[in-house]
């Protein structure tokens, strides 16, 4: 036997029909949702600061060794194909735009466009990693231009070229790892967006993933000229 909903249960039914983002309730230890958003964003900025410190060590090593062995750095950079590096730069710049567009779409409740931009960002990240592995890492390894003690390229004229390749692989491999992590974060956001968890009043997850992705792009903007264009 079924019963018609009473007047007291109608508000509950109406509430359940609302999208998840409009029903989000901030944590009990926050005074408001705005305060929660600001606190989470500040905490993530502090995390990104540690990421900057991580790459700062590589940049410091790069500057120190380049000053000490400029010939090795010029020879090593001359062995890179700057066209692939430039293509990867364009790919990441495109992904930065689509990530920013995704945040805007969820802020304005454009769910389909937001998810489409998230997918384009993920595909761009995958293209970046594929170009790096297939067209840059693999040919270098087969030609013996490997890092450190694994270096066996017989035509190197500077004895410190292995040091160049060590810095190159440490910097670019660590960056590629961060690209993969960023793709995982964005994929998680995409899955949640399918359930309607992000919208005009709640889009913290999208914003945080966007901050991480923009940092990854910014680091590459520095790596590209330092590694590919010094010769």
Average pLDDT, the chain: 89
Q: Which of 23-32, 41-50, 135-144 is the least confident region? A: 23-32
- Partners of residue 39 on adjacent β-strands: none
- Please state the φ and ψ torsions of residue 19, each to the nearest 5 degrees: -65, 160
38-49 per-position pLDDT tens digit: 888 899 999 999
What structural domains and CATH numbers belong to the chain? Answer: 45-228 (1.20.120.80)
Helix (H, G, I), strand (E, B) or coil at 181: helix
Q: Which of 12, 209, 176 is nearest to 91 (CA)?
A: 176
- Predicted TM-score (pTM) of the model is 0.89
pLDDT of residue 17: 65
H or E element: which one contains 43?
helix 33-68
What the block records as the tokens of 201 is 């009043």
Q: Smallest Cα–Cα separation from 167: which of 145, 138, 142? A: 145
Condensed to tens digits (0 to 9), the pLDDT of residues 158-197 reads 999 999 999 999 999 999 999 999 999 999 999 999 998 9
Residue 3 pLDDT grade (very low, low, confident, very high; cuts 50, 70, 90): very low
């Amino acid at each position: 036997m079924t019963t018609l909903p009473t007047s007291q249960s109608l508000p509950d039914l109406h509430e359940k029909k609302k999208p998840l983002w409009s029903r989000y309730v901030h944590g009990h230890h926050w005074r408001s949702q705005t305060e929660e958003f600001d606190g989470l964003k500040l905490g993530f900025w502090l995390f990104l600061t540690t990421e900057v410190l991580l790459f700062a060590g590589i940049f410091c090593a790069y500057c120190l060794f380049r000053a000490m062995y400029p010939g090795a750095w010029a020879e090593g950079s001359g062995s890179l194909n700057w066209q692939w590096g430039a293509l990867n730069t364009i790919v990441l710049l495109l992904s930065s735009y689509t990530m920013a567009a995704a945040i805007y779409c969820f802020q304005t409740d454009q769910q389909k466009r937001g998810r489409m931009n998230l997918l384009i960002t993920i595909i761009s990240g995958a293209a970046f990693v594929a170009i790096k592995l297939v067209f840059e890492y693999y040919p270098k390894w087969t030609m013996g231009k490997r890092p450190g003690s694994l270096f066996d390229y017989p035509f190197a004229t500077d004895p410190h070229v292995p040091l160049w390749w060590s810095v190159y692989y440490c910097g670019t491999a660590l960056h590629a790892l961060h690209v993969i992590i960023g793709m995982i974060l964005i994929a998680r956001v995409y899955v949640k967006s399918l359930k309607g968890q992000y919208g005009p009043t709640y889009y913290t997850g999208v914003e945080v993933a966007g901050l991480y992705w923009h940092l990854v792009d910014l680091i590459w903007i520095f790596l590209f000229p330092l590694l590919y264009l010094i010769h």
